[in-house]
A = this chain, B = another copy of it.
Amino acid sequence: MPSFILADVAHDLWIEDFAITPADLRLSATHPWSVRKRVLHGGRREGVELIVVDNGVLCFSIIPTRGMGLWKGQYRGDRIGWDSPITDGPVHPAFVNLMSTGGLGWLEGFDELLARAGLESNGAPYEVKTENPDGSASHTTHGLHGKIANIPARYLAVHVGEDPPHEITIEGHVDEARLFGTHIRMMTRISTTPGSNRLVIRDEFVNLKETPSELEILYHWNFGPPFLEEGSRFVAPIQTLVPRNKDAQEAIGHFEVYRGPEPGGPEQVFFLELHAGAGDGRTLAMLRNHAGDKGVVMRFSKAQLPAFSLWKRTGGRREGYVTGLEPSTNYPNPKPFEKARNRVVSLTEGGSYVAETTLEILATRPEVAAVEEEVEALQAQGAPRVHRKPVEPFAEEV
């Protein structure tokens, strides 16, 4: 398998620009794929590295500088992603102060198709008060969604499968580490097959400590038009549905249907358990458009990612008209809440945790219908259990 290492701090290696096509490898290609890497300039994107992978029909960009998140994608003319109020991204972490606005600084850089939230913690910011021996107190703020989305990759490589269909893989390693703290290496492999409608993200989280460690990871996949529009629907094999708070509670009766863009529109988050295949534990969730001829599908294993959050933010088009399909190890509550409910992953000494998510893009009515049938088949395991207000152990009862 031809491999090209683009960055490796351990060996003092870094390549600013890179481009490869089948012709460069003397491969015959039914799909004119390419991989290109460069450094962006100007404004808050100054110095951000970007990799653009085009598999011939599906194109997407990866941001090594932002923890190997995905910036934007495109499939047969349809944009994959959303319009953040941030329009000068991808934003270099040097311009993001995670501690600003009471720990909400993460939002200063948030404009991605996929932003990972973790690894030491994810979810809402929270503050811990410590009483000191001398009677004074200290306050520690743990910011929204953790650090991983703002740490640049220490290692970056491009792999091309030797045999047809010549799968393309971008590998990246990101360390979240400090003395006396978390020391987890995320090794991600982002793959796509030329000509396909899907990309697979396989993350391995390796505990580099010699003692047990904790992990929280949430995949903040975000979609706007054309998949999101008035009448779009969320489709998934729901086992349990819980509104996160009062704002979501009001919409519980029609949570699966989307409104059109609405200036000042609501933010609503729902916590879900999904049914999964009995044999393989695999499950899925789809966002489909009103007509049912376009959709994005998220596939993953419930064994790896048992929690799922549906984030609806149907604000005005420029304010954030977006929905998040977010498989995760835990619900995005403050970590102490999750830990008390046994939803924080324990990594053994030298142990690791693997999580894989697949994004699939649908562009025809039959494709959408086929996924709806898949969901129905899983739903046959039992009707959704719908809670009309926040309940334990999913959310804080109000």
Interface residues of A (CB under 8 A from B): 7-10, 12-14, 16, 40-47, 84-88, 93-95, 97-102, 104, 107-108, 110, 125-130, 133-134, 136-143, 147, 151-156, 175, 177-181, 183, 208-211, 263-264, 267, 313, 315-320, 349, 396, 398
Contacts and interface: CB of A to CB of B under 8 A. Distances in A.
Contacts of A16: 41
A102 B319 contact: no
A319 to B, nearest CB: 5
Nearest to A263: B210
A309 to B, nearest CB: 16
B178 A107 contact: yes
A87 B183 CA distance: 10
A319 B183 contact: yes
Given A9-B45, A178-B107, A154 B94 contact: no
A127 B133 contact: no
Contacts of A110: 178-179
Contacts of A12: 40
B93 A94 contact: yes
B211 A396 contact: no
Contacts of A134: 396
A393 to B, nearest CB: 15
Contact of A138 (B13, B41, B102): B102
A101 B142 CA distance: 7
24 contacts: A7-B43, A8-B42, A9-B42, A9-B43, A9-B88, A14-B41, A43-B152, A44-B151, A85-B179, A85-B181, A85-B209, A86-B179, A100-B147, A101-B142, A102-B141, A107-B178, A125-B138, A126-B138, A127-B136, A133-B398, A139-B141, A209-B319, A210-B264, A211-B263
Given A85-B181, A126-B138, A208-B318, 15 more contacts: A9-B44, A14-B41, A16-B41, A43-B152, A43-B155, A85-B177, A85-B178, A85-B209, A86-B177, A127-B139, A133-B398, A139-B141, A179-B313, A209-B263, A209-B316
Contacts of A98: 97, 100
Contact of A179 (B127, B129, B320): B320
Contacts of A104: 178, 181
Contacts of A84: 179
Which of A9, A110, A130 has the largest count of B CB atoms less than 10 A from its CB? A9
A93 B102 CA distance: 20
Contacts of A319: 183, 209-211
A193 to B, nearest CB: 28
Contacts of A136: 126-127, 129
Contacts of A263: 209-211, 349
A252 to B, nearest CB: 19
A142 B105 CA distance: 12
Contacts of A208: 85, 318
A342 to B, nearest CB: 19
